[in-house]
Structure 1
Amino acid sequence: MPPSVPHHRLPRTRRVRRLFRRIAFTAVLGLVAATPIATAAAPPAAAAAGGLQQVTGFGSNPGNLQMYEYTPAGLPANAPLVVALHGCAQTADAYYTNSGWPQFADRWGFDVVFPQTTSANNALSCFSWFDAAEDSRGKGEAASIVQMVEHAKQSRGSDGRRVYVTGLSAGGGMTADLLAAYPDVFAGGSVASGLPAQCATSQAAASGCQTGPQKLSPAQWGDKVRGGYPGYTGPWPRVAIWQGTSDYTVYPANATALRDQWTDVWGIGQTPSSTDTLPGNTTRSVYNDSAGQPAVETYTVSGMGHGLAVSPGPGAEQCGRAAAYFLNTICSTYYTGVFWGLDGGTPGGGGDRLPAPAGVTVTGVTDATASLSWNAVAGAASYAVFRNGTKAASPAGTTYTDTGLTAATAYRYTVAAVDGSGTAGAASAQVTATTTGGAPARCFTATNYAQVAAGRAHTTGGYVYANGSEANMGLYNVFVTHTLKESPAGYFVIADSGCTG
């Protein structure tokens, strides 16, 4: 519907449907009731000054959406394109500011389109992942988003073979629907705290999908994708699935359904080809295609609630800003981009890069040093050692001693093999080394409210984060209790499983 058409002139059936959305949807994606989105609701005008630009006249726009775009300076033609969909009650600016996508667009060279819906479409400004009139091929919001893709291809010269879509929550549900409806447009997708494609086809069914999708077989879930574009036989998009284990808005069962759905579409079964551990208490499971390349990957973040995983900081694998529904755990944008091949690797996870070193071990610590060793990787010319996400050294061998450290402090390390051209391979599993000495650790058990009042934690967007470690402690109230360990002074980590010096 063009914005100039008055509401009272809409066809009666559409007015009724929209009114129903406004009244009923507050009980469906109820995430805004738990935590205000004050930090996420900046007006679009603020985005333009920061590099995000609104684009008008991108098409007939049947879904009545707004288009915003971020293009790095000097971006050449034929660059990849990423479409990033915000969650309920958020804006394109919120996703631009907090998700980390502009950061990697600058680093790796691609264009980002940020579609935006409004309360004119939905009472909570959610993308309509549950409405066949909005999320199907050639219809509504889905058609508007594809028009944005076509506009970017024409105006920016984006590479039509490397178009990807990602989204959070309702944006994640719309992402899955877009991958099903337009597998000929999108080479890959990433669903964060979202729903399987066509989980709900009505307003009434949406809430049930969130708390527990239907008990369907992988083939039945796959049929929902195949029905999105009848007759299409491939190639299919490569799909990443991000989910927190403590998400009580979109339950973890949805990640399982998404895994079943897309592995069935690829015809590769539901047993992972490999599993490894990443920062932020994250477990990655990889499902390879017939050529041995990752087709589907699941990222399970232990203890994370409802939101997009980010990891603020200067490290090569860090990104984003912590805010409401942008949770400080791991940079999902980095790992998603690598999975798609945006970093220059093979789509599907950089198959032309060296594998991660195995056997990374802490072999010794003092009050100022930490020593590591790992197994050799065939073809490695050197190795890159990362301390707390930042590159610390480039040893030629398989051992390294880090010096100049602070006593009684925990340091996180990963190691990557580097080939003769200087390209780093996949990062190893993370290990932690804690230096000796210093004052003994102090432990504090209290409610989140009391921890903030005592100066051991702080709040952002209704959530509590430990000072120093920035660990997400949950909602700011007196009903959540954690034990915090202080070591060194002013640096707190969650120690609910036991606090020792």
Structure 2
Amino acid sequence: MNEDFFAAMRRATSSTRALNLTEATAIIQAALAGRPASVEPTAADPDILPPSPGHRQMSPGHRQKPFEVHPEAEIIDVETGQDAQTHAAAQRAGPHERQRRPLHEVVRMLREGRGSAFGAVAEGPLAGMAKPRRPPAIAAGAQFLSRSFSCAAGTRSFKLYIPASAPENPRGLVVMLHGCKQDPDDFATGTGMNTAAEAHGLLVAYPAQTGIENSASCWNWFRPTDQKHGVGEPSIIAGLTERLISEYGLDRRRVFVAGLSAGGAMAAIMGETYPDLYAAVGIHSGLAYGSANDVMSALAAMRGDATAFSGQCRGKSAASQVRTIVFQGSSDRTVHPSNADRIVASASATNTHSAPQTHKARSDGGRRYTRTRYIDEQGIPTLEYWLVDQAGHAWSGGHPSGSFTDPSGPDASHEMLRFFLGTDG
């Protein structure tokens, strides 16, 4: 490595500490590509995140202003690998007591999207691994089992809810992908999906991301190797799904996937890369497929600073096949609402449907929301978008015993199952 590269890394580190992530992204990408980064980037500069072939640009009138990084966000210093609080303490302790990561390791982390650098996606209230304050709801006679699945791409443990209403012949499956710093028990508690599924005789599977693969237990939705069919985390989730379909003889028309935040972004990937496996997808506070290809571009996309998204590695006409329901809080300070707009724009552009139907109302918990529905020629909703007014980065209508939940909003679990099963009134 030459002196120019080291100088670029120092500039990128300074920009990251100053929370100027777009500038840091441009500097790092230029350094890795071996070109100078002499021009100061702006949010509108296409060189920050070069568009891939086939990208779609959002219309100027549809784009929302990016927000600054939340002042309470847990920011991980890419040079030291420390969170903001630990780093501040180390600064006070003096240089002899600090531990710094070697520069080559920082570059490797940024290239691969691995390690503590991605801890920046987790909000301050979840400083450690989330633990539910009560166990997940389990109906009398139901089971909540701990299991594991392995394939060539790796191994993941998962929890499986077997409904008491249909223990021998479940009527379908919902695969639930948790967010960062969550685990299956916490996610089941917060979403209440077990209770919602019990009424319909559905299995619910909760795969668990490992701290080895991502230190914040995030699904690696931003890594190119985890955005493709047949490899990486998508192949593990798909393999787990296929195993349960075979084991329980499930109707493939009643197999669904949903997720929150990083899990929502991974659910979008599953719908794109395995459109023949899932009949419908639920994306809560997530991001569109192809929104990022490394940690820094992921952070930019999350804050609403990405001007385009890619259609690379798309599935078999996935967007035209997989029905999608999207939930998003209008005041989300972790994943900017413009990301939900991108998901909806992509799905609606490739589906044949009537003019969207918009309905405004207030939930039982008090939050106002706007529901926009797209109906196909057969009268079946192919896409729904729920924008929940003043809601943050939380599962709408969730139980307060789980992390990242908002009990005041409309019940996302109930509405997702209604949409999945086509039980609309």
Moved more, 131-140 or 118-127: 131-140
Aligned equivalent of 2:156, options 65, 85, 91 = 65
**SS of aligned partner of 2:115:** helix
1:326 deviation in Å? 1.1
**How many angstroms apart in 2 are the aligned matches of 1:213 and 1:290?**
36
Q: Which has the higher strand share?
A: 1
For residues 207-226 of structure 1, what are the alpha-carbon distances to aligned partners after superposition, in whole Å with 9 as ceiling and x for unaligned?
Answer: 0110115334xxxx5x727x
Larger Rg: 1
Please, which of 244, 251, 254 is the counterpart of residue 336 of structure 2? 251
Deviation at 1:263, TM superposition (A): 0.7
Instruction: Give the distance between the partners of 2:199 and 2:379, measured in 1 at CA.
Output: 28
Work out whether 1:331 is the aligned partner of 2:331.
no
Normalising by structure 1, we get a TM-score of: 0.57
Instruction: Describe the shift of the 1:44–1:121 C-alpha distance in structure 2 as closer, same or farther (beyond 3 A).
Output: farther
Question: Partner residue of 2:92?
Answer: none
Q: How does 1:158-307 map to 2 (within 5 A)?
A: 158-212=250-304, 214-216=306-308, 224=311, 227-229=313-315, 231-232=316-317, 236-268=321-353, 272-279=356-363, 280-307=367-394
The verdict on how the C-alpha distance between 1:322 and 1:133 changes in structure 2, with shifts beyond 3 A counting, is same
Counterpart in the other structure of 1:136: 228
Unaligned 5+ runs, structure 2:
1-103
Q: Secondary structure at the match of 1:108?
A: coil
Look up the match of 1:123. Answer: 215
Identity of aligned residues (%): 27
Distance 1:189 1:170, change over 3 A: same
Q: CA deviation at 1:53?
A: 1.2
Cα deviation digits, residues 322-341 of structure 1 (max 9, x gap): 54301112211011111112
The reply to whether residue 86 of structure 1 matches residue 167 of structure 2 is: no
Q: Give 1:85 deviation, angstroms.
A: 0.6
SS at match of 1:138: coil
For residues 4-26 of structure 1, the C-alpha deviation after alignment (integer angstroms, 9 at most, x for no partner) is xxxxxxxx99x955986213112
Gaps of 5+ in 1: 1-11, 312-319, 342-346, 354-501
Rounded to whole Å, the distance in 2 between the matches of 1:332 and 1:46 is: 17
Q: How many residues align?
A: 313
SS at match of 1:266: coil
Structure with more of its chain in helix, by fraction: 2
> What is the CA–CA distance in structure 2 between the aligned matches of 1:130 and 1:44, rounded to whole Å?
31
> What amino acid maps onto 2:286 in structure 1?
G
In 2, distance between residues paired with 1:340 and 1:333? 10
Would you say the 8 A contact 2:358–2:370 is kept in 1?
no
Matched residues in 2 for 1:43 and 1:147: separation? Answer: 30
Q: Could you say what secondary structure the match of 1:296 adopts?
A: strand
Partner of 2:86: none
* Aligned residue type for 2:199: R
3-state SS in 2 of match to 1:65 = strand
Query: Deviation string for 1:53-78 (max 9, x for gaps)?
Result: 1223x341514322221111243436
Distance, in Å, in 2 between the alignment partners of 1:20 and 1:93 is: 26
Contact 1:111 1:158 in 2 (8 A): no
CA distance in 2, matches of 1:45, 1:168: 17
2: CA distance between counterparts of 1:192 and 1:117? 18
TM-score, normalised to structure 2's length?
0.67
